Structure 1
Amino acid sequence: MSTPHRLNPGDTAPAFSAEDSRGETVSLKDFAGSRVVVYFYPKASTPGCTTEACDFRDNLASLASHGYTVVGISPDKPAALEKFTSEQELNFPLLSDPDHEIAEAYGAWGEKKNYGKVSVGLIRSTIVIDEDGTVVAAQYNVRAKGHVAKLRRDLGIDS
């Protein structure tokens, strides 16, 4: 497998629909007219993904005050997402992408290196989409710890 096609600022964000932690269908079009932070993470309830999700949770009010909605996407099934949402008191939707179709469309699925070992899987990524569905930022291979602070700086949101 080769490196996935990555999105770039100016690209149209690929449409998607997926089940959330409650089994309800959520689509990108549900957020039309809003700015959306779509972040991809490998697995619910793992240390890095918990750190990142809680960081988004703790910054959600500030992001929302600047017009951003947050959506997390992983290959986990809705039941695992529900458990993760409940345990961590997450206040934004988590979507299930078990066939990684959304991740592939967003360039967040492909070859990655971890401790020198190459594997194929979900690449921790964050895509910011404007009100018109245009990508304004696309960050790949992000670190779980400190990512939201960096994203806030990149978006011009004061800490």
Structure 2
Amino acid sequence: MSLNVGDIAPNFELPDTELKLRTLDEFKGKKIVLTFIVAASSPVCETELCTLRDSWQEIADTGAQIVAISNDGPFANKAFAEKHNFNFPLLGDYNSKTISDYDILMKDLLHIKDYNAAKRSVFIITEDGKIGYKWVSEDPLKEPNYEEIKNFLK
């Protein structure tokens, strides 16, 4: 089932880097920039999350919260987040359930059988819990359009 703009965003319950379970519902009432990355510490994911970190104040000024999800476990995510001082939650979807719920599962990454990851994606969830913006890339090396994201939030 493909999600589209206007659909209710699927809820999730995923561990953050401190092993605290976080849900989409806890961020309700504000816009959420929900970004799915392919793999913690990979070069393009590093660039993407560092760009979002560096844009955090501009994004926060629109009343939005950034939440990042990878299919890595909380320990790999913690090392990645600490190395780059991320100022937003990085959640681990190690069984790819949420990634599947958002219909962005990329099977056999780098042609490695059963190495599944998220397609690089950004969903902006509006205050009412609906998807207001959706960008999904079939190319794991392609970054999102950061200006487009910021303009949508304004």
TM-score (norm 2): 0.88
List aligned pairs for 1:5-16, cutoff 5 A.
5-16=1-12
Residue equivalent to 1:67? 63
Q: Is 1:126 the equivalent of 2:146? A: no
Q: Hey, what does 1:26 align to over in structure 2?
A: 22
Bigger strand fraction:
1
Alignment correspondent of 1:76: 72
Tell me which of 80, 92, 97 is aligned to 2:93.
97
**Residues 112 and 123, structure 1, Cα contact 8 Å, conserved in 2:** no
Instruction: Measure, in 1, the Cα distance between the counterparts of 2:76 and 2:106.
Output: 23
- Percent identity, aligned pairs only? 30
Give the corresponding residue for 2:136.
140
Task: Give the length in aligned residue pairs.
Answer: 149
> Alpha-carbon deviations, 1:89-135, whole Å to 9, x = none?
11000000011000111122135887xx6975321001110111011
Structure 1 regions of 5+ residues with no counterpart? none
Give the C-alpha shift of residue 75 in structure 1.
0.7
**Structure 1 position 149 matched with structure 2 position 147:** yes
Which contiguous aligned blocks of 4+ residues in structure 1 show a shift greater than 3 angstroms? 110-114, 117-121
- 1:54-93 Cα distance to aligned partner (Å, 9 max, x none): 0100001101100110000001111111111110111000
Q: Partners in 2 of 1:121 and 1:133 — Cα distance?
A: 24
Alignment RMSD: 2.1
The TM-score normalised by the length of structure 1 is 0.85
Q: Deviation string for 1:124-150 (max 9, x for gaps)?
A: 001110111011011100722x63223
Q: Per the alignment, do residues 113 and 93 of structure 1 end up closer, same or farther by CA in structure 2, a change over 3 Å counting?
A: closer
Would you say 1:88 and 2:91 are equivalent positions? Answer: no
Map of 2:43 onto structure 1:
47
3-state secondary structure, aligned to 1:151: helix
> In 2, Cα distance between the equivalents of 1:85 and 1:76?
12
Segments of 5+ residues of structure 2 without an aligned counterpart are none
C-alpha spacing 1:67/1:24, structure 2 compared with 1 (3 Å): same
Contact (CA 8 Å) 1:76, 1:97: kept in 2 or not? yes
